[in-house]
Chains A and B, each alone.
Chain A
Amino acid sequence: MGNNKDLLLVHSAMERVTLVESVNVMLTPQFYTLKKEALPVKYAYQAKKIAPSLFEGLLEEGGNYNYMVSKEEDTWAFIAYDIESITAFLETKGITAEKVSKIFFAQQAVNSFTAPLALNEKEALVVLDDIVVVVPRMALGNEEEPSLIFDNGFTPKSGVSLQGSSSSVLTQKQALWLAAVFMLFAGMFVVEGSRYGGNNASAGVELESLYESYPALQSSYTRQGIVDKYRTIDTNERKKRDAIKAFSGMIFKGVTLTSLHADDKGFQAQFSCASANVAKRVKELAKKAHYNTAKVKDSSDLRIEGTL
């Protein structure tokens, strides 16, 4: 992983660099604290949970530490590192967060340090008891001259992504929380949306049941044809009947029906009234029913008519 990028060895006395492309970074023990422990745990996440307690008293106070855990033969190797101070140091050396692809620790490549590796004129990296450490070069024997050349072959399989870069408004934790909330809402919307389909079942069932009883009415054209035909009949016939009922209501003492005519176009009735007062009352009733009235010439008779 990350082998396609250049691997840069970072130590406290390094020179400032100018980067064009992003690189992988390998940190010397100056930037992390290593501890090896034989623990009765099976999985790395279990070991990672107890990592903070293992480093109690070993780390500088006030640091914001993260932990990397790896399994060795019989022991667990714990690396504690302060990503913020590492990021700050890298920036002082011209390595901005966006130029860092992955961060690795020298301890991860312990097997690659087959000989001392010179960091500068005074310091070198060596392996002592399977631990990569920084030692003064003067402490090395004559036969231990730093001869190792650092290259991309030192790149371990897994590394750490540089989180919380200065350009990011959100921390990863905040981002994941927000994403979780949005996804929760998304799930609720999907569930709610999928439930919409079932709410109209009762009307659908009633419709299907009616279709089964009246298969000829399944076509909306057929239904519309029947509706148009019978709705006209229904409206006209109701009007005729209402008119006849209204005329019946106009027959009282002093009023006699002399004729009534109803056909497809309209209706007309003529009443013989005993007096002008009676005629007036009949006329009022006719107007109330919105019918036209006309007085028959030379009599107190009244003609009432209407159209369909």
Chain B
Amino acid sequence: MSWKRYQNELIVLGAFVVMLGAYAYKHNQGTSQVQEVQRVQSSLGELKEVIALKKIWADKKTTKKVASLQTLIPASKVKWSKKSKKVTATYTGLSSNELNKLITKILNLPVEVRLLDIKKTGSTYNVEFKCKW
């Protein structure tokens, strides 16, 4: 038989083909692992971002925190209206210190500022503030 003439070469060729197959298997495994790592990392990153964003902007304690805006300033200077998760507040005759205190507080609250309007009248300030969360 003619193949017998090349029996040795065929043995080497067969082993080489097996090695190539094994290499292809390794390569595929490596590629699919990289894709899987990317998929998991992407899901993990997305999930962590969602959790972090929800922790800030969907905090259940926000309602309580917003309520402090009413008590921060003497009641005589505050007109307060709250409906569900929306607040409309009007502050009149605020001193510079009171204004600073109020703005600092607002900046640290995780709410959507719909309107912040500050106007200086004489030596005092009037503030209109609308937010939701």
Contacts and interface: CB of A to CB of B under 8 A. Distances in A.
Contact of B12 (A167, A175, A211, A230): A175
A256 B16 CA distance: 83
B11 A223 contact: no
Given A167-B5, A193-B25, A210 B47 contact: yes
Interface string A223-265: 1101100110110110011001100100000001111111110
Contacts of B44: 203, 206-207, 210
A22 B49 contact: no
Which 8 A/B pairs are nearest by Cβ-Cβ distance?
Answer: A175-B8, A193-B26, A179-B15, A230-B53, A186-B22, A182-B15, A189-B22, A193-B29
A189 B23 CA distance: 6
A197 B116 contact: no
B30 A196 contact: yes
B66 to A, nearest CB: 14
B33 A244 contact: no
A176 B10 CA distance: 11
A168 B5 contact: yes
28 contacts: A22-B1, A98-B4, A98-B5, A101-B1, A168-B5, A168-B9, A169-B9, A176-B11, A178-B15, A179-B12, A179-B15, A182-B18, A183-B18, A185-B23, A186-B21, A189-B23, A190-B25, A192-B26, A193-B22, A196-B29, A200-B37, A204-B40, A210-B48, A227-B50, A230-B53, A230-B54, A233-B112, A244-B103
A145 to B, nearest CB: 39
B95 interface: no
B72 interface: no
Interface residues of B, number: 55
Interface in B74-96: none
Interface in B13-43: 14-16, 18-19, 21-23, 25-30, 32-33, 36-37, 40-41, 43
B15 to A, nearest CB: 4
Given A175-B8, A214-B51, A230-B58, A183 B15 contact: yes
B26 A190 contact: yes
A160 interface: no
B50 A217 contact: yes
Nearest to B23: A189
Given A214-B47, A220-B43, A237-B113, A97 B5 contact: yes
A174 B8 contact: yes
Contacts of A261: 116-118
Nearest to B111: A237
A167 B23 contact: no
Contacts, number: 171
A287 B2 CA distance: 87
B67 interface: no
Given A240-B113, A241-B107, A217 B11 contact: no
Given A220-B43, A260-B116, A168 B26 contact: no
Interface string B85-129: 000000000000000000100010001111111111000000000
Interface residues of A, number: 66
B22 A185 contact: yes
Contacts of A190: 22, 25-26
Interface in B45-61: 46-51, 53-54, 56-58
A195 to B, nearest CB: 8
B22 A187 contact: yes
Contacts of A210: 44, 47-48, 51
A27 to B, nearest CB: 19
A234 B53 CA distance: 8
Contacts of A204: 40
Contacts of B120: 256-259
A170 interface: yes
A161 B27 CA distance: 39
B26 A263 contact: no
Contact of A217 (B8, B30, B47, B103): B47
